[in-house]
Amino acid sequence: MAEPKDPAALQADFLAAITAATPAAVDFSPAALAVYRNNYRVGLEGALALAYPVVAAIVGADFFHGLAQAYIARTPSHSGNLHLYGESFGTFLDGFSPAASLPYLPDTARLEWCLHRLYYHADVPVLDAAALGERANRQGEALTLPLSANARCFASSHPVGTIWLAHRAGTEEQVDLDAPGERLLLYRTAGEVDLRRLDAAGAAWLSALAEGATLESATDAALVHDAGFDLQGWLAFMLTGGLFAA
């Protein structure tokens, strides 16, 4: 009589049978295994729909179902936290030929993933006006204002920020999909995520700050693009939103 399998090996076989695109022959009830495999895929598809609602709206429910199942077949989950599933969806879309007629779709997915992660990340200490004054007194001309984990810069050769905003507002039919690309600030404030489209000056200023430049150098970079760059307005926006790191 064959010796019973080690419990750890049995668990590994069971997990592989659930997550594999095509299950291998294993010592489990086919009917029970089919239920687990279906629940696994339904759960992951639900996680993708939660993270990528605009992508789902663009392609429609039936197409998204097929797209999600194709992704799931190639990309098993490695975490019990479903909010972490789907990071490579944008890259997958780069090579998904049925969606080749929608060249903006991969970057739309990347944008949604960034917003998804912003929404779920843990709260972090942020800089307020009083702390800014103290830092300015301490650092002087060497003052730096790195972005907090509540904010990140994003760029695309497609108008993905406009697409995202239009879907949120229900005006997606008005979007010019052939419009130029966009530079964006993605951020979370008061528990909600949003984005702001940037002109060249704003993008230069934020990118410089994110890379560790001093406030003076970052502002000089912005002024190259716009002599009327609204530094005070931007400082107020970033401080009010908790978008500078403490």
- pLDDT digit string, tens, across residues 203-241: 999 999 999 999 999 999 999 999 999 999 999 999 999
Tell whether the model's pLDDT for residue 15 goes beyond 60: no
The model's pTM: 0.86
Of 1.10.1740, 3.40.50, 1.20.120, 3.90.930, the CATH number of 124-246 is 3.90.930
Give the bridge partners for 184, in sequence order: 154, 197
Tell me what the mean pLDDT of segment 26-47 comes to. 73
Tell whether the model's pLDDT for residue 38 goes beyond 80: no
Tell whether the model's pLDDT for residue 14 goes beyond 80: no
Query: Is the CB of residue 152 less than 8 Å from the CB of residue 124?
Result: no
Q: Where are the domains of the chain?
A: 1-102, 124-246
**pLDDT-based confidence at 13, cuts 50/70/90?**
low
Helix H or strand E encompassing 139? helix 129-139
pLDDT at 1: 44
Tell whether the model's pLDDT for residue 64 goes beyond 90: yes
Tell whether the model's pLDDT for residue 160 goes beyond 60: yes
Q: Compute the distance between CA of residue 222 and CA of residue 201 in angstroms, rounded to an integer.
A: 4
CA–chain centroid gap for 117, Å, is 5
DSSP state of 98: G
Q: Compute the distance between CA of residue 68 and CA of residue 37 in angstroms, rounded to an integer.
A: 15
